Structure 1
């Protein structure tokens, strides 16, 4: 058997396997939907429960501002890059008192 014939045979096998995979996926899809609907009903899940933009189940909360520029009123939480109005300055002078 030549390399080209072998390649054609392998491609045909791949096509048949891809077809079988797709058929199995379609067959299992209905069952998966049924199971999902059952869980949603049982646990009274909402779209927010299912599709919220949380990481690892924890809601991402915004940190309160820690520093304020008295001239502009701009604030910074102390996270991320240092804003230009605070660079090369003593941060203690800009702390927001609790």
Structure 2
């Protein structure tokens, strides 16, 4: 089973993930993106999550996509695999024009 990271560990790991934040219980990012590009971005995120075997809460807004990640198997806290999922999502964000 995964182990929960401390807030300090999470913040340290997010240092190179521009725009990602934490409240100690989840990591999240609000991307600015057009609505149609946002829908395509979410489909790409869904495919990554399916391959990864771990899923985020993702919300499509008019000009935004909000991604929130935590691990339900450890009580809704953040584990190393949550950080890795965020890294994978962040890598593809630029190809969809997300900022």
Q: TM-score, normalised by structure 1?
A: 0.24
Larger Rg, first or second structure (1 or 2): 1
Q: Going by fraction, where is strand more abundant, 1 or 2? A: 2
- Which has the bigger relative contact order, CA under 8 A and spacing at least 6? 2
Q: TM-score, normalised by structure 2?
A: 0.24
